[in-house]
């Protein structure tokens, strides 16, 4: 598995050779501080360069609102619309799934990354 900084340019080179995107969508976190930061900077730059909107949602959209691992036994959870952290004794499998058809109603122009934890 490639690092985010290595995978994104290759992925988008392939996408842009085949498609002409009209909008960009991404999950703005929570998760790995560095991966979120790199993804945000890359996609924001691409959005500006291509002159297309960048839209975001939180990562809970893609994992059935299950806890998202922050570090060790600390997990992000979303209750109502608030994201916090809790410690869980048992680890939670991290399954994220892209839908067959993207529901654009789940995204908005609030694209500021959800860093949630300080960089380590």
pLDDT at site 2: 77
User: For each of the chain's 120 residues, which pLDDT tens digit applies?
Assistant: 678 889 999 999 999 999 999 999 999 999 888 889 999 999 999 999 999 999 999 999 999 999 999 989 999 999 998 999 999 999 999 999 999 999 999 999 999 999 876 555
Cα 69 from chain centroid (whole Å):
13
pLDDT at site 114: 92
pLDDT at site 46: 97
pLDDT at site 107: 97
Distance between the two ends of the chain, CA-based, in angstroms?
22
* pTM for this predicted structure: 0.87
Q: Please state, in angstroms and rounded to a whole number, the distance separating the CA atoms of residues 110 and 91.
A: 30
pLDDT at site 117: 67
Closest among 117, 109, 98, 115 to 44, alpha carbons compared: 109
């Amino acid at each position: 598995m490639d690092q985010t900084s290595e995978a994104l340019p290759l992925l988008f080179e392939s996408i842009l050779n085949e498609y002409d995107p009209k909008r960009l969508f991404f999950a703005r976190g929570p998760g790995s501080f560095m991966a979120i930061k790199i993804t945000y900077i890359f996609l924001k730059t691409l959005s500006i360069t291509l002159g297309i909107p960048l839209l975001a949602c939180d990562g809970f959209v893609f994992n059935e609102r299950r806890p998202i691992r922050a570090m060790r036994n600390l997990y992000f959870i979303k209750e109502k619309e608030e994201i916090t952290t809790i410690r869980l004794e048992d680890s939670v499998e991290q399954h994220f799934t892209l839908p067959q058809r993207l529901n654009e109603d789940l995204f908005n122009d609030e694209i500021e990354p959800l860093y949630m934890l300080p960089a380590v």
